[in-house]
Amino acid sequence: MAALDKIIPAGEKHNTPEFIRGYLLYTSGKQSPFIRLNYNRFYNEIQFIDEKGDTLLLAYPESVKYVITDKEIFYRHVIRGYFRVLEEKNVPVKLMDQQHLKLIKRQTAVEKTPNFSDDKLFSVTFIPKNPQYPNEKVVFSKKRTLYLMDKYERFFNANKSGFLKAFPNHREKIKDYIKTESIKFSSEEDLRKLLEFCSSLK
């Protein structure tokens, strides 16, 4: 796994091109000193750069509640890992996403590689240090899933069923709005629009 992590381009592996100034907010309510942070999509973990300039994983991630940087906020679920907060307004239900890189296939570099028409797939050539081993072509998939999280920290898929579960007292109004506004659940803009409507319901 470590070798694969090293060959993935930084633009694919991390959420932002550079490590960003931020801090950790612990479950105890305490705050860490400011450090440079980034989200690693391959590990679904937060990494930081230490004083020596080394890139490391957090030693005790189970003690972290939020990761707050100058550009992004991440919430850490005890079991499911890190979720990026997309809707930061003071509302009871928040829109979040989770991004993953998954290893799909490893093959020798001389094998024919299929053409990737799907922009969710990409390949990297891995050149072993030992010349006795052949070069490899490593194929990864990129996945981004959108969720809703309510004030009880329960998660719902960001689809019609999920919105109805997150706002159970307004099911009919939400159904009408989805139909009238032709909400597309594949569109983050539409999801934000729908969430704003749902949050305004009394």
Half-sphere exposure in the Cβ direction for 17 (13 Å, CA): 0
The CA-atom distances, in angstroms, between 47 and each of 39, 52, 81, 184 are 6, 14, 13, 34
pLDDT digits (tens, 9 = 90+) for 2-37: 467 788 888 899 999 999 999 999 999 999 999 999
Lowest mean pLDDT among 6-15, 24-33, 159-168, 180-189: 6-15
pTM of the complete model: 0.84
pLDDT digits (tens, 9 = 90+) for 95-112: 999 999 988 887 765 565
Question: And the tokens for 132?
Answer: 């006795």
- 149 - beta bridge partners? 94, 155
Question: And the tokens for 15?
Answer: 């959420």
